[in-house]
Structure 1
């Protein structure tokens, strides 16, 4: 497992804990095979490129603390990922099926299944898929090209806590 430099007690990123790039590529490759065979989801993804599964793997890997594969190799950004959902008019039934198939695939490939990792993994899927549904009902991208990629961790919060006044 890669370690985080200059830390006395390195805590692995979600990317490291999951097993790295190859694990995310395996996950999304098998997942999108299922999506293509699913009567509810296949129409949404019928025009996806042959690189789609790999780009999604790179996106998730980067969000989970891995290398910037999505921004560097796929030439993507948070804004570009959001743009893929604009105008798709996704619904809750599709969102739930997407999550179900992804978790099912995670189980099939043996993705880390300890409670802490799965909690963070499923929390990200819930958050991201709900944002995707919201954005799918818009006509303009709410995320600017210069906005940073999301960063997902073990559930920690960033910055100092400030009580309400």
Structure 2
């Protein structure tokens, strides 16, 4: 039986920061070639993909690089205001990210993918809501979300 304290974070299970940086690098290459998403992202800074990698990694239990260097949860949410994202944008963003996750061989065990997809679904749905608003009803000190294994409770090693 696995001890609760020995269960790795999603960040650790995925392979650490190099994996998240690779994921966003290849993902945003796809985004910039996509007819639906390219107009939304064509003006992003060269650092954008790294900020996203650090954000997702931190949410999954990685180092607090986003919070300490790139901003905080409130500042990230503010970046989505008035972007007017649609459900079609969200669905395409999710599809390209999951396609990239498969291509870079992000872990595909059911427990990890369940947690990964759950966060991506949750986060992108919030992004669409916030993108269709011009003001944020949120505490500026709101902590970063922390995502874990969820219902399965950890990797199946059995």
User: What corresponds to 2:50 in structure 1?
Assistant: 54
Shift of 1:58: 0.2
Instruction: Give 5+ residue unaligned stretches, structure 1.
Output: 1-6, 157-165
Matched, 1:63 2:59: yes
Shift of 1:50: 0.3
Matched, 1:155 2:150: yes
SS at match of 2:6: coil
User: What corresponds to 1:16 in structure 2?
Assistant: 12
Classify 1:135/1:8 alpha carbon distance in 2 versus 1 (closer, same or farther; 3 Å): closer
- Distance in 1 between the 2:128 and 2:57 partners? 21
User: What corresponds to 1:145 in structure 2?
Assistant: 140
Matches within 5 A, 1:103-122: 103-122=98-117
Classify 1:8/1:151 alpha carbon distance in 2 versus 1 (closer, same or farther; 3 Å): closer
- Distance in 1 between the 2:29 and 2:15 partners? 21
User: What corresponds to 1:101 in structure 2?
Assistant: 96
User: What corresponds to 2:69 in structure 1?
Assistant: 73
Q: Normalising to structure 1: TM-score of the pair?
A: 0.87
* Count of paired positions: 149
SS at match of 2:32: helix
- Which one scores higher on RCO, CA 8 angstroms, separation ≥ 6? 2
Shift of 1:144: 2.4
Deviations 1:99-132 (A, max 9, x none): 0000000000010100000000000010000000
**Over the residues paired in the alignment, what is the CA RMSD in angstroms?**
1.2
